[in-house]
Amino acid sequence: MHWSSLCTYFITNFIFSVPSRACLVIEMPAAAEDEDTSDNEIPPSIGPESKVLLARAKELRAELEQFACHLADVYKGYFQEFPKQMHQSFYHDVEVEIANLENDINSEDPLSAHRISSSNIPYLQAVWNATKNSKDIVKLRHPVFSGPFGKRRILAPGIRIKDIMSQGGSEPKRNQNSHSTRIDIICDGGLSWYKISTITNRRLLFDMAKEAVYFGDSDDDDSADGAAPDFSDIPLMKLAVHLKTIAQGHQIRNLCPTPCLALPRIVEGEHVQIDSFIKVCRDTGVKVFCGNSANSSRPLSESLLHEMVPGPMRDLTTELNIDTSILVALISDISHSQLTIQPWFGQSQQDHINLESREPLIPRVCSLLGNHTLVCTKEAVRSLARIVHTMGTNDENARAHLLLAPNDEATREQRVDEFRALSIHSDSIPTCLQLPIRIVEPDFDTRDNENDRQLYGCVLDGLHVLEQPGRSVFSCGVAKGLTTVTSNISMWWLLTLLLSIASLTSGYSSNTQAGKSVGRVP
């Protein structure tokens, strides 16, 4: 069907079948000045559908509040706070719409009905329905820098290594100006970006017909032979191209996010012109999901919430590699008792005691260790032994012995009971704690995957600059593919940097198992 035929088809089937006000969308000629149109237009009135819309909005808000409770639960005690706020921008948008609806429903302003009919709630509901079909969500309604981009790509928000989330490199100030675009859903750990559009088949046909008229298409069959339709000026195509451009300007785990366009009210297979448009849109590199291919809205449940945001502790390895900083925390009197600050205490010791009184470390560490098998390196044990023998108290020596001494006469249960008796946080120390911690040495030839071996090799080369025991501890975790539990944030940043460099130099994405099992900070 030629473009001129499409225009005729659209005008015949749509424009003449809608009320006169809808014709204003395509700028139909205005009525003559002396023409009385008051009898022809009936102002919209506030009917029961307005209250239905308000009820939908409040139901959406209630589900978002349930989502917020889930975030607070799975990130409780976690060292990163900002993942708990991943929904706040979206929640604020819903709150604003509810306040506006409540004001307009109770208002006598004749324009209230118009404002209600243009409410953003249907769009926000579509975003939330798509959110409930997403996994590993990072942000909702989040602004990202939209260019112009330099030679280096910007770090995108998402999970970088082993479930450690990054807010990305788009500075807030840049996101608040005109050079920013809101991404409705950032999910799959940051690897997928979704924009939602509630455009309908009818509206899309209208846009295509309007642009065809502007292009001055001819009825001449010969002029149209082999000429592909130009969709570049259609708003939805502009959105798809823009989404692709900004995604290519960002990276997460050495990959550009995949741009996705969800069109829940577009139905494929009904109009050849729409199917042709969707195909061209997909050819740009954007994934397009239409209403007849997208999943339907799912009822919110506990299991669904854990699919949407599994939490930061879902991929811990069976064995955990324990860093010296955690060994010290596990035996320290500061962690296990209420110490009174003395005049001779140094400033760092005083700060540590004050921090411990506000945020006890033992409950957080022990909830992470759970019933995992615990290992550490000989260098880590030697370092702890020097500390304990030099300045350790009797209780600290006793805890160190329970944690590490390979005494076969004491059962695991006996060790745990004695360890709990030496702590004011005994209720937070699980009875399934696997004691003693087993001492191991790094094995650098255990990787089965060639990509992982090369990536690990690059990271291990970088770790040689470290002093002991850090070199031994983190090399062991990398070589064995274990989660390394540490409270040393500087080491985590170093590992992140090494992983990024290794990914670039080896040619492999840090989205491999190697990239997911380097380290963790409780």
Structural contact between residues 312 and 137, judged by C-beta atoms closer than 8 angstroms: no
Q: Do 370 and 400 lie in a common domain?
A: yes
CA-to-CA distance for 155 and 411, rounded, in angstroms?
A: 49
Q: Which residue has the tokens 């118009």?
A: 114
Structural contact between residues 430 and 354, judged by C-beta atoms closer than 8 angstroms: no
Q: Do 372 and 482 lie in a common domain?
A: yes
Between 489-506 and 470-480, two packed helices, what is the crossing angle to 10 degrees? 50
Q: Do 164 and 296 lie in a common domain?
A: yes
If 0-12 CB within 10 Å is exposed, 13-18 middle and 19+ buried, where does residue 249 land?
buried
Please check whether residue 35 lies inside any domain of the structure: no
Pairing of the two strands 192-196 and 258-263: parallel
pLDDT of residue 44: 53
C-alpha distances in Å from residue 266, one per residue of 100, 113, 249: 28, 26, 28
CA-to-CA distance for 62 and 299, rounded, in angstroms?
A: 13
pLDDT tops 90 at residue 92: yes
Helix (H, G, I), strand (E, B) or coil at 212: helix
Please check whether residue 385 lies inside any domain of the structure: yes
Give the model's confidence band at 458: pLDDT under 50 very low, under 70 low, under 90 confident, else very high.
low
Please check whether residue 481 lies inside any domain of the structure: yes
Q: Of 173-177, 425-429, 497-501, which has the strongest mean pLDDT?
A: 425-429
pLDDT of residue 492: 62
The predicted model gives 465-490 an average pLDDT of 77
Sequence length of the chain is 522
Q: Do 192 and 124 lie in a common domain?
A: yes
Q: Do 201 and 295 lie in a common domain?
A: yes
Q: Do 332 and 419 lie in a common domain?
A: yes
Average pLDDT for the chain: 78
Q: Do 437 and 300 lie in a common domain?
A: no
The predicted model gives 433-461 an average pLDDT of 66
pTM of the full predicted structure?
0.69
The predicted model gives 440-467 an average pLDDT of 59
Query: Which amino acid, residue 489?
Result: I
408 membership: H or E segment, kind and range: none
pLDDT tops 70 at residue 478: yes
Q: Torsion angle, CA of 43/48/54/57, rounded to 10 degrees? A: -100
Q: Which of 373, 336, 341, 337 is nearest to 354 (CA)?
A: 341
Pairing of the two strands 319-322 and 373-377: parallel
pLDDT of residue 348: 83
Q: Do 391 and 505 lie in a common domain?
A: yes
pLDDT of residue 132: 95
pLDDT in tens, 368-425: 888 889 999 999 999 999 999 998 899 999 999 999 987 767 889 999 999 999 999 9
User: Containing domain of residue 501, as a range?
Assistant: 319-516
Counting Cα atoms < 13 Å in the Cβ hemisphere of 509 gives 11
Q: Do 106 and 252 lie in a common domain?
A: yes
Please check whether residue 67 lies inside any domain of the structure: yes
pLDDT in tens, 128-144: 999 999 999 999 999 99
pLDDT in tens, 15-68: 444 333 333 233 333 333 333 333 444 445 566 788 899 999 999 999 999 999
Give the model's confidence band at 503: pLDDT under 50 very low, under 70 low, under 90 confident, else very high.
low
Helix (H, G, I), strand (E, B) or coil at 164: strand
Domain count, the chain: 2
Q: Do 382 and 468 lie in a common domain?
A: yes
Q: Do 342 and 286 lie in a common domain?
A: no
